[in-house]
Amino acid sequence: MKYLYIIAGILIIFSGIAAYNLTHTRVKVSKPFLVVNDRIMTRAEVQALIKEQPGDKSMPAGIESVITHQLLIQEALKQGISKEEPFRRAVEKYYEQSLVKFLVDRKLKSFKADATKEEIDRYLLLCQKRVVVSKFEYPSMKEANSGKKTDPKRIEADFTQLPGDIKLSLLTLKKGRASLPAESAGRVFVLRLDDVQPVQGDQIVSIDINEAKAFILKKKKENMMAAWIRKLKNNAEIWREK
């Protein structure tokens, strides 16, 4: 009998706790703002969706756009489009593209680059010049460093019209000197600055310090990214059919 009283006492205690919780606990539920069939949305959720959509972001027009969007989603699900192979491939492609974009953006932000006063001054000076450059191309960095002779490609153009990689290389070159080997688009090149000439008055391009600095930083970070990708390739196991 003693054990029965103990068990009964325990049940009464737990029943009391349960009754207290039922009468005193309040679950905080967000107030619905918009309901489209069985899709319930809060005001904050609707505002966030309107903010992400292009076009008119005013509340009345935005709500209509959200309603239309939700109805189209529901209809697509009803028709089973989400289970079809073309849709699956499209989602996979979008997922991979987004994944790569997030990685590249994050990596670019992590690179530390600077534009020195000498580089900026040199860039501003060359923007008023026409240059003659010899470009030596090699299939690999090894061959470029070997000193192997190759016929150069002659480039004569206003500095502002040159590709970005060539512009950056010329910032540290004096007339008659050659650059260190650099890689771009899978090819290795060496540049020799043969001549620097004045640009005709009507062809002078106005460039300010901020534009010059932005260009230098952008190209340096792009080169860092290219070097990082080359490192990934060198450390990977890659097989190609011969």
d(CA 32, CA 29): 9
Among 14-18, 121-125, 145-149, 190-194, name the one with the lowest average pLDDT: 14-18
Q: Which of the pair, 18 or 146, is modelled with greater confidence?
A: 146
> What pLDDT was estimated at residue 139?
86
d(CA 137, CA 150): 8
Cα-trace Rg, the chain: 33
Q: What is the mean pLDDT of the chain?
A: 84
> What pLDDT was estimated at residue 34?
92
> What pLDDT was estimated at residue 186?
72
d(CA 164, CA 159): 10
Q: What is the pLDDT of residues 60-99, one digit of tens each?
A: 888 999 999 999 999 999 999 999 999 999 999 999 999 9
pLDDT band at 10 (very low <50, low <70, confident <90, very high): very low
> What pLDDT was estimated at residue 58?
83
> What pLDDT was estimated at residue 23?
47
Does the global pTM surpass 0.85? no
